[in-house]
Amino acid sequence: SQTIHQWPATLVQPVGSPLSLECTVEGTSNPNLYWYRQAAGRGLQLLFYSVGIGQISSEVPQNLSASRPQDRQFILSSKKLLLSDSGFYLCAWSKILASEQYFGPGTRLTVT
């Protein structure tokens, strides 16, 4: 069966510090991978998605970036965090781009 891991579960970072969130998927190959953010009082916003190694599509311009160095690894990064980057970050995968998505446990990020 497939499982998806995210870490860390919670993170408190000062403004201006870098960020690296990692997501890995087990039990499947060539998954489509996604990063979402839910800011306080807001809906689920798609940040990035990837259909393959090194292929990243950005949905919203921001100071975040994503990378996919391996087939089942998806990384969300920032060089300098802003207060507005606080939120709940979810990684997800799907078999094809438009199919049902399976979500990871999420990372609660607080930028202070």
Partner 1 sequence: ILNVEQSPQSLHVQEGDSTNFTCSFPSSNFYALHWYRWETAKSPEALFVMTLNGDEKKKGRISATLNTKEGYSYLYIKGSQPEDSATYLCAFRTGNTPLVFGKGTRLSVIA
Binding residues (CB under 8 A) for partner 1: these are: 34, 36, 42-46, 49, 59, 90, 96-106
- Reading phi first (left if > 0) and then psi (alpha if -120 to 50, else beta), residue 46 is in beta
- Reading phi first (left if > 0) and then psi (alpha if -120 to 50, else beta), residue 59 is in alpha
| Nearer to partner 1 among residue 16 and residue 105 (C-beta) | 105
| Nearer to partner 1 among residue 45 and residue 65 (C-beta) | 45
User: DSSP 3-state assignment of 83?
Assistant: helix
The least distance separating partner 1 from the CB of residue 84, rounded to whole angstroms, comes to: 18
- Reading phi first (left if > 0) and then psi (alpha if -120 to 50, else beta), residue 106 is in left
The least distance separating partner 1 from the CB of residue 97, rounded to whole angstroms, comes to: 5
The least distance separating partner 1 from the CB of residue 15, rounded to whole angstroms, comes to: 27
| Nearer to partner 1 among residue 22 and residue 106 (C-beta) | 106
